[in-house]
Structure 1
């Protein structure tokens, strides 16, 4: 049985051995809404596909054109079995309801480090995805860069109160880092970016080190709303 939930995922679940992130381009806010409805209908009318799929969540991009998908797998082998037996029929049904979806990228990751405010019980009002790309694969560089980010965060004298958590994931190909950050609201994140010294990227030596890391190729920042959660029920 497949059950819908409004709860945000717990990114620190120890059973999650293979977190996957993917992006679809659907074109407009109306098509975002229709695609989310089609995903929900397609999944809810079918049994939950595998016990090793712990949760599947869909997010609407604030750009009005994209969807992000976050799936929590126990292992890559479990995902591969799903891909061979269940994935295409579900995608075909969704594509019938919303033709022309562009599936841009499926990223395979492992969570490396998380930072969470102690005792914070707020529900996130915005998910911020920071996608970092490096010049070529280097797992040691991935980990060292994330460690440097934590050093920089700890150097902040006055962290912005709107930030709730940060969950850093390393791509299995060694070339990317993805930070899934929970914020109180989109406006809180916008305000933090606009006010260096109040929680993100202050003009400190620690942040300058992060921003000028050798081999750093580029980064993107995207904001999303949690639109759909599916779990076994």
Structure 2
């Protein structure tokens, strides 16, 4: 059995990252939707072999209400083309399995800051995610800078390498950080990695070309 590993969100070949939260409401629906999401991405990756697709990681919120997906691509144009052509097919299949999923929207992100605290290195599959929602373009950039500065000055207890993202239109920000213990980061939601699907290019991930790993 392959050991689950968090994605490397600072990998140099990732030109764009797509982050999405799905509201599913219950732990049972969360489990079923997570399995369906990983199966659909695995099938699409194997069938179409998009060379720019690196990895999709699926996370479940600790409260059982939300799924988080983090898709890493080498090229933004390739990501947009793939989503336009295949997302409706994938979503339709998942909705037949788990009707009524609410999807607030996708965020195409660029990595703005990576903060490595002293003593990082503990293994974990738990992460916290916090958002700064839409506003003027300059607000998200300032939020990202202020968040990175705060993490450097006073990292949360048990936090690993943190990544701060800004959306492609610079109106939204997002913090993603592995954690090894509970913390009190304001507005953050705790997630645990459920599984991952990797792209077709050799060396994209430890799980192998078009492979995957899952906690299911």
Q: Same fold per TM (> 0.5)?
A: yes
Partners of 1:27 and 1:101 in 2: CA distance: 8
Partners of 1:28 and 1:231 in 2: CA distance: 27
CA-CA distance at 1:118 after TM superposition = 5.5
CA-CA distance at 1:43 after TM superposition = 3.2
Partners of 2:163 and 2:151 in 1: CA distance: 13
Indicate if the aligned counterparts of 2:163 and 2:176 stay in contact, CA closer than 8 A: yes
CA-CA distance at 1:75 after TM superposition = 2.1
CA-CA distance at 1:71 after TM superposition = 0.5
In structure 1, the gaps of 5 or more residues are 194-199, 201-218
Partners of 2:40 and 2:134 in 1: CA distance: 37
Return closer, same or farther for 1:135/1:183 CA change in 2, 3 Å cut-off.
same
Return closer, same or farther for 1:93/1:121 CA change in 2, 3 Å cut-off.
same
TM-score of the aligned structures, taking structure 1 as reference length: 0.76
Partners of 1:18 and 1:71 in 2: CA distance: 8
CA-CA distance at 1:5 after TM superposition = 6.8
Partners of 2:114 and 2:6 in 1: CA distance: 16
3-state DSSP class of the match of 2:99? Answer: coil
CA deviation profile, 1:132-158 (whole Å, cap 9, x unmatched)? 1353222xx4334333333333434xx
Aligned to 1:88: 88
Indicate if the aligned counterparts of 1:110 and 1:169 stay in contact, CA closer than 8 A: yes
CA-CA distance at 1:169 after TM superposition = 0.3
Indicate if the aligned counterparts of 1:52 and 1:75 stay in contact, CA closer than 8 A: yes
CA deviation profile, 1:118-137 (whole Å, cap 9, x unmatched)? 66332224210110135322
Indicate if the aligned counterparts of 2:38 and 2:58 stay in contact, CA closer than 8 A: no
The reply to whether residue 164 of structure 1 matches residue 131 of structure 2 is no
Indicate if the aligned counterparts of 1:5 and 1:230 stay in contact, CA closer than 8 A: no
Aligned to 1:207: none
Aligned to 2:61: 61
Q: Point out the structure with the larger strand share.
A: 1
Indicate if the aligned counterparts of 2:135 and 2:172 stay in contact, CA closer than 8 A: no
Count, aligned residues: 197
Indicate if the aligned counterparts of 2:121 and 2:160 stay in contact, CA closer than 8 A: no
